[in-house]
Amino acid sequence: MLYPFLWAIALSMVYIIARVLKWACSVRHTLSASLVVFVLSMMVAMFAGATIYLYNPSFSTLTVAAWLNLGVMSAALVPIFVSFVSRFQEQSVKQLKNKSAFFALVIFLTLLNEFFMGWSFNLVFSPHPRITPEYLSSVVSSYWFVFPMSLEMALTTYFLRKNVPKSVLFVVAMQSAIMFFSPTALSSRAWGFLSAFVGSALMTILFAWVYARGFFETTIQTYLFRLILIYLAMMLGLYIWGVNQNPSLFALSVILEMLLYFDGILSRLHTSGEARRLSAPWIVSTFVANSVSQFFMGGLIALTGLIGAPSAFKGELVFSNIAFYALTLVVTLFIT
């Protein structure tokens, strides 16, 4: 019975955050900015408090959670109060001067909210974990984080579809789908194989479309270049996870991808300049990076679907034998 309830909460948060992000894009005044920060801060405090309590359910942790929410609410109300006072004193609305800092805070609070939501929901089913970097990485790589984040990307982009070039919509749609098909999300061998295969196919489609189109604005070219580098780290992280179940690099790459996405969808991708042809160095470098990332995905597919996981020392990338190496190459060529 808990699953439907928690998913209802998660989906509600996805919708609310997407709406808040759309609101944040239209903010022009300090009062509106303060209200956006207040809403996001309260959401973070709510899930942070739930995490504190669920980690060690007791009256004392419940008290800490309550005081945390009260403290965050009080702190977040201060800039709202100051903005109200300034507005009445000056008889004018104060313009928001530093939008970059505002967007950075919005992105930070959004990711923090998703992290604490994923952590608290994981604690419902796996209480009293040992807090380690690897465990925190597993929170980010779990379905309570990647599935809502994938839906949040899609919904936010839909709400802001009029603010960005049409070419961005396809890129982000593919990003959202690739995020959804994260092999780490479910502890299922079948899901690991299927999601790795589908994710690789989606990456191939995305960059085949990019090369076929050939012309993009400079900001979009920069976005795509950074995205493929993140995907390279992500696919390497997935292979390492397939070998020794350590999702740390994958989790880090997920965070980097979300930072790239939010930064782009909130501001950088809104400006539409002149489309320019992709340069030869850009094509070569991204093609090499994409090919290497697909090689690691080929290895993951071989690990999860075709043969047993090869033996490897923890933390090291080791191919077990020539047969596995050859099989990885065959799978890679097939998916590319």
Which pLDDT tens digit goes with each residue over 30-65?
878 888 888 899 889 888 988 988 888 777 776 776
Which whole number is the average pLDDT over 238-262?
92
Whether 230 and 256 have beta carbons less than 8 Å apart is answered as: yes
- pLDDT tens for 263-320 read 999 887 876 678 889 999 999 999 999 888 888 887 787 776 554 443 333 333 333 4
Q: Where are the domains of the chain?
A: 1-129, 130-336
The Cα 38–Cα 332 span in angstroms is 47
Whether 62 and 78 have beta carbons less than 8 Å apart is answered as: no
Determine the distance from the C-alpha atom of residue 245 to the mean position of all C-alpha atoms in its chain, rounded to a whole number.
Answer: 20
Cα–Cα distances in Å, from 227 out to 111, 172, 204, 223, 335? 18, 11, 13, 6, 19
CA angle 14, 17, 21 (to 5 degrees): 135
- For residue 244, the model assigns a pLDDT of 84
- For residue 331, the model assigns a pLDDT of 52
Those residues whose C-beta lies under 8 Å from the C-beta of residue 121, and which sit 6 or more positions away, are: 6, 10, 144
What are the residues facing 277 on neighbouring strands? 215
Q: Locate tokens 């070039």: which residue?
A: 165
The Cα 38–Cα 42 span in angstroms is 6
Which whole number is the average pLDDT over 316-326?
42
Helix (H) or strand (E) segment spanning residue 276: strand 276-277
- How far does the chain reach from its first CA to its final CA, in angstroms? 42
What is the chain's mean pLDDT, rounded?
82
The Cα 40–Cα 193 span in angstroms is 36
- For residue 262, the model assigns a pLDDT of 94
**Highest-confidence segment of 176-190, 294-308, 320-334:** 176-190
Helix (H, G, I), strand (E, B) or coil at 277: strand
Those residues whose C-beta lies under 8 Å from the C-beta of residue 143, and which sit 6 or more positions away, are: 185, 186
What are the residues facing 95 on neighbouring strands? 29
- For residue 321, the model assigns a pLDDT of 44
Which whole number is the average pLDDT over 316-329?
44
- pLDDT tens for 186-220 read 887 778 878 888 888 899 899 999 999 988 888 89
What Rg do the C-alpha atoms of the chain give, in angstroms?
A: 22
Compute the half-sphere exposure of residue 134: CA atoms within 13 Å on the CB side of its CA: 9
Those residues whose C-beta lies under 8 Å from the C-beta of residue 147, and which sit 6 or more positions away, are: 10, 180, 185
- Let me know if 60 is exposed, middle or buried by CB neighbors in 10 A (0-12, 13-18, 19+): exposed
The Cα 102–Cα 24 span in angstroms is 9
Those residues whose C-beta lies under 8 Å from the C-beta of residue 166, and which sit 6 or more positions away, are: none
> 21 is written with which tokens?
């992000």
- pLDDT tens for 68-78 read 766 776 676 66
Amino acid symbol at 97: K
- For residue 333, the model assigns a pLDDT of 54
Determine the distance from the C-alpha atom of residue 137 to the mean position of all C-alpha atoms in its chain, rounded to a whole number.
Answer: 13
> Greater confidence, 89 or 285?
285
